[in-house]
């Protein structure tokens, strides 16, 4: 069968790589893709900001399944348009994707359905921000309401800083339309957890858990990024916690969305904080995370295509997935200056050598290729991912591969999964 993946980052490379392993797929396309994806699929141009462009591509290709990678096409309603035309597509509708596209909607939804989350306030003006701050202890989290590519969440260490950040967001100068409404939230303490489930609108099937590393620097220092690395192991959460998360968070979300007339099909990413008061929802994504997808799919030993079709066709079950007990670690190599200003077009060396390290797969996030040479083409450039029988060995393999790769200004954290290893 013919399958089309929309997107062009590290997450999409991992999706393409895993789908390529399905014996049922004869032709695999990715739009727009990247230089690494081009080795696993035919890459074609498409404007992911335009539903018309995506429809035109699908009209030409006639794929039997389309898979959405990033969030923007979901919020534009591409699933609605493809479904209207009778084209199978994996992902939630535009109205269901509000769980990600609007933090204020998500927080109010959680409150309506009694799903655990931090106390919050929704503010449309700086006066509302000042008034609401009287109900919060410091530090306080300031969140842009809309999509901000992982950069719309800031922890303010004083009320003055919170007011300043909120003012910049509300003015549109910091994040554009994404910040014209803000959410203030209690700053929770604990361990973050990425918990993903597949849903068919009624049933859910959990994937293995992962933990992301958002800050740009070692020791969780510096600004938030789209993600600097992630890992997944069997002992990240136990069976009891997994079942609790399914019964008290994932299923109530899916049931609540259906009750509100916004049936959710696809993958639901629950960003959680495991606090002393129990697990609490920080945020939702309505698609695979990046870079969590890389270690999660590296641990998947069954056919991803079958699971996606089960979601679309209304027959999701835990039996859709078979997982290895191996650990997996992804280390993101980024351009110097990311998440701020950075330069692109730097030649990359050592990719072939890195891919030869046992258990390693280098996923491309922001790369291009000219005359056989790979170049940097984004903030996050590569996701060096390793699988091994133990977390320690997976970490060792990932960093062994990173040491073989070079480009001007290359930056990567040296402590991905280090806390877990100490535990």
Query: Chunked in runs of 10, what are the mean pLDDT values of the chain (423 residues)?
Result: 98 98 97 98 98 98 98 97 98 98 96 97 96 95 85 89 93 76 95 97 97 95 93 96 98 98 98 97 96 98 97 94 98 96 98 98 98 97 98 98 98 97 84
Nearest to 332 by CA among 369, 388, 294: 294
* Model pLDDT, residue 175: 72
CATH of span 191-320 = 3.30.470.20
* Model pLDDT, residue 353: 98
82 touches 58 (CB < 8 A): yes
* Model pLDDT, residue 150: 64
Dig out the tokens for 152 from the structure.
């719309």
Indicate the burial class of 261 (C-beta count within 10 angstroms; 0-12, 13-18, 19 or more): exposed
Q: What is the DSSP string of 266-306?
A: EEEEEEEEEETTEEEEEEEESS--TTTHHHHHHTB-S-HHH
Dig out the tokens for 298 from the structure.
């590296």
Displacement of CA 227 from its chain's centroid (Å) = 8
* Model pLDDT, residue 141: 95
Which segments of the chain belong to CATH 3.30.470.20?
191-320
Superfamily of domain 125-180: ATP-grasp fold, A domain (3.30.1490.20)
CA dist 187 to 64, 136, 137, Å? 44, 9, 8
The pTM for the full model equals 0.95
82 touches 106 (CB < 8 A): no
Which segments of the chain belong to CATH 3.30.1490.20?
125-180
CATH of span 2-94 = 3.40.50.20
* Model pLDDT, residue 177: 74
Which segments of the chain belong to CATH 3.90.600.10?
327-422
* Model pLDDT, residue 153: 87
Helix (H), strand (E) at residue 122 = strand 120-123
Rounded to 5 degrees, what angle do the CA atoms 382, 77, 365 make?
Answer: 5
Domain 327-422 has CATH 3.90.600.10: yes
Dig out the tokens for 21 from the structure.
């392993």
């Amino acid at each position: 069968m013919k399958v089309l993946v929309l997107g062009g980052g590290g997450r999409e490379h991992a999706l393409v790589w895993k789908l390529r392993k399905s014996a049922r797929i004869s032709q695999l396309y990715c739009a727009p893709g990247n230089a690494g994806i081009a080795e696993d699929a035919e890459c074609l141009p498409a404007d992911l900001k335009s539903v018309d462009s995506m429809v035109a591509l699908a009209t030409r290709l006639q794929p039997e399944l389309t898979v959405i990678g990033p969030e923007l096409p979901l919020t534009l309603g591409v699933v609605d348009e493809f479904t209207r035309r009778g084209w199978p597509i994996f992902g939630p509708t535009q109205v269901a994707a509000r769980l990600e596209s609007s933090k204020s909607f998500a927080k109010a939804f959680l409150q309506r359905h009694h799903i655990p989350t931090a106390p919050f306030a929704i503010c449309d003006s700086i006066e509302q921000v000042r008034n609401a701050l009287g109900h919060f202890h410091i530090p306080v989290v300031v969140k842009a309401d809309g999509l901000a590519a992982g950069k719309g969440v800031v922890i303010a260490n004083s009320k003055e800083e919170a007011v300043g950040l909120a003012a910049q967001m509300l003015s549109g100068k910091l994040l554009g339309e994404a910040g014209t409404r803000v959410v203030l939230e209690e700053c929770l303490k604990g361990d973050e957890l990425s918990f993903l489930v597949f849903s068919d609108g009624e049933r859910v099937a959990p994937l293995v858990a992962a933990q992301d590393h958002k800050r740009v620097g070692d020791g969780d220092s510096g600004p938030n990024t789209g993600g600097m690395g992630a890992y997944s192991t069997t002992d990240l959460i136990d069976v009891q916690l997994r079942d609790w998360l399914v019964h008290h968070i994932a299923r109530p979300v899916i049931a609540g969305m259906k009750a509100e007339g916004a049936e959710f099909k696809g993958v639901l990413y629950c960003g959680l904080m495991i606090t002393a008061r129990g697990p609490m929802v920080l945020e939702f994504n309505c698609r695979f995370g990046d870079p969590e997808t890389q270690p999660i799919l590296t641990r998947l030993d069954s056919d991803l295509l079958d699971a996606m079709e089960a979601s679309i066709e209304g027959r999701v079950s835990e039996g859709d997935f078979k997982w290895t007990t191996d650990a997996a670690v992804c280390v993101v190599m980024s351009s110097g200056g990311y998440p701020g200003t950075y330069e692109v077009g730097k030649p990359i060396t050592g990719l072939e050598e890195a891919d030869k390290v046992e258990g390693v797969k280098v996923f491309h996030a922001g790369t291009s290729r000219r005359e056989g040479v790979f170049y940097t083409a984004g903030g996050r450039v590569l996701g060096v991912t390793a699988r091994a029988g133990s977390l320690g060995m997976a970490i060792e393999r990932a960093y062994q591969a990173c040491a073989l790769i070079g480009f001007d200004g290359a930056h990567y954290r040296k402590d991905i999964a280090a806390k877990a290893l100490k535990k």
